Amino acid sequence: VLQDVLEREKEGKNRKGAKSRIEKKIDDLQENDEEAEIEYAPPEERYPELDHPTNDKQYVEGTVDGEYRDMWVYCETQQGALIDVSREMLGKARELMDGYNEAYDESETVVAVLVGDEVADLAEECLAYGADRVVYHEDERLDRFRHKPYTEIFCHMCRDWGPGWRDYHEPRYTLFPATNNGRDLSALVQGELDSGLASDCSGLYIEAADISNPAKTGTPGESRTFERVLHMKRPDFSGFEYSTILCIDKPHRDFHPQGASVIPGSFEIPEADAEAEGEVFEHDTDLPEEWFHIEVTDYDQLEDGVDLAGNEVVVALGRGIGEQPTKGMELGLELVDVFEEADLGLSRGVITASYEFDTHVEEYVTEERQVGESGQVVEPELYIAAGISGAIQHKVGMDESDTIVAINTDPDAEIRDFSDYYIEGDLFEVLPRLTEALKEGEL
Ligand code: FAD
């Protein structure tokens, strides 16, 4: 099934198609043979065009014991303060490493990494939110995120810098925020360290993993247990399924650190412990001037203009507006105008689609209006969702609303399951009728 998905990706076909295809395949399998077994072809057969290293080395489980330790958390800052997801990650890392140390009888630590201008003062706060150790690099040239120096510093801290504070151990696990800058940095660092990355994760736990796929273990017919594996859960297939990504060593190489970027809001911010103590280290290697060849000439801070949560009514539009996006936006805004305290929300589907909007509605198509896991969480008295399918990431941002009305042409869209009223119909017809009826006082 996955091979089929990959084939479709190669052909540039979209995920939505892939999803229904997978469902059909699963149905077929279940109908034809409930015990059906999926055969895994070895990678050389699946991708003959790629260069496949020979698997003549023994599988090295030993990397677990000697060379890697600790969970490193990249703590992003903005305007001299930790951003919330940094605190969330520190709390989660604390919880994970406490469990880890107990399970494996170890004493590995949570290491907070700070990079920027005047970040040393934030070290105490990192300790308060769960770090055992903090390593920071400050330099006024690091006042804004820049790929090259930030990546080089992080990798240098991991690989080359010591001795003393980290006893020559590279990190076992790394966490980054799935923010714009964090996404950049995580991919660059993990690539530079020759490992992998599970991006946009919303769930993490450490456990043993039993892998019976010979393509992974290199030993056909045998299953292997990998210890201390970070299970990284991320939404997939347009948010209708979750995948768990495992970063597992292969016979010919090992993959460390096991790295994830974390969607902001996925974990609780822990209570700060003002009494917490730990070690703080400065990384003070000279930074070559050529790392700063990009000059930042201007910087604009986006204003937080839209607070959807403060409204009694949210009218949210999804990709159902796709046939006439400008018209769809106009109809949504007209409905918003009927209510006293209402505003327009959008699914991420609309924000990431490449619709062309006329200028008078374009200004409304901003991430600030996104409702859901990676957008705003709203609980209005009335939530009207037009042309939204109800992916889990959207649902978590609105399903606590008092009353949910969904408008959808599909009689079985997922959103039906958590709507109070479901109007099966075309939003281009239903929205103006709703607006009219409300204006006339009929509803
Ligand atoms: P679709 O899933 O394409 O649904 C469109 C719906 O419109 C369909 O049900 C269709 O039947 C209906 N329709 C079509 N034409 C009409 C018409 N004329 N009239 C009425 N109905 C019509 N999504 C969010 O919304 N918020 C988030 O915060 C968010 N965070 C995410 C984070 C991550 C890491 C990932 C991977 C995804 C995230 N997503 C988020 C995306 C999410 O998974 C879905 O892809 C997205 O919500 C789909 O948007 P949609 O419902 O508008 O589009």
Ligand 1 atom index nearest CA of 388? 51
Alpha carbon of 360 to ligand 1 centroid (Å): 23
pLDDT value at position 324? Answer: 97
User: If you measure from the C-alpha of residue 185 to the centroid of ligand 1, how many angstroms do you get, rounded to a whole number?
Assistant: 28
Contact indicator for 203, 266 with CB cutoff of 8 Å: yes
The whole-number pLDDT of residue 289 equals 87
- For ligand 1, atom 29, name the residue with the nearest CA: 393
Task: Take residue 197 and report the two structure tokens written for it.
Answer: 């990355």
Q: Which pLDDT band, with edges at 50, 70 and 90, does 443 fall under?
A: confident
- 94 Cβ below 6 A of ligand 1: no
Atom of ligand 1 nearest to the CA of 202: 34
CA of 412 to the centre of ligand 1 (A): 14
Q: Tell whether the model's pLDDT for residue 38 goes beyond 80.
A: no
What is the tens place of the pLDDT at every residue in 274-315?
999 999 999 888 888 888 888 888 887 766 678 888 899 999
**Which has the higher per-residue pLDDT, 122 or 41?**
122
Q: Is the minimum distance from the CB of 321 to ligand 1 under 6 angstroms?
A: no
The encoded tokens of residue 70 equal 């600790």
Which residue, 83, 139, 95, is CA-closest to 116? Answer: 139
**Euclidean distance between CA atoms 184 and 418, whole angstroms:** 36
Atom of ligand 1 nearest to the CA of 414: 9
Q: What is the ipTM of this complex?
A: 0.99
- Binning pLDDT at 50, 70 and 90, where does residue 239 land? low
Ligand 1 center to 391 CA (angstroms): 6
Record the pTM.
Answer: 0.67
More confident residue, 238 or 390: 390
Distances from the Cα of 252 to the Cαs of 52, 216, 217, 218, in angstroms?
A: 10, 11, 10, 9
Contact of 222 with 137, CB cutoff 8 Å: no
Nearest CA owner, ligand 1 atom 52: 318
Q: Which two tokens stand for residue 370?
A: 């996104």
CA–CA separation, 17 vs 181, rounded Å? 31
Name which residue sits closest to atom 32 of ligand 1, judged by CA.
374
**Whether the CB of 266 sits within 6 Å of ligand 1:** no
State the Cα torsion 113-119-122-127 to the nearest 10°. Answer: 20
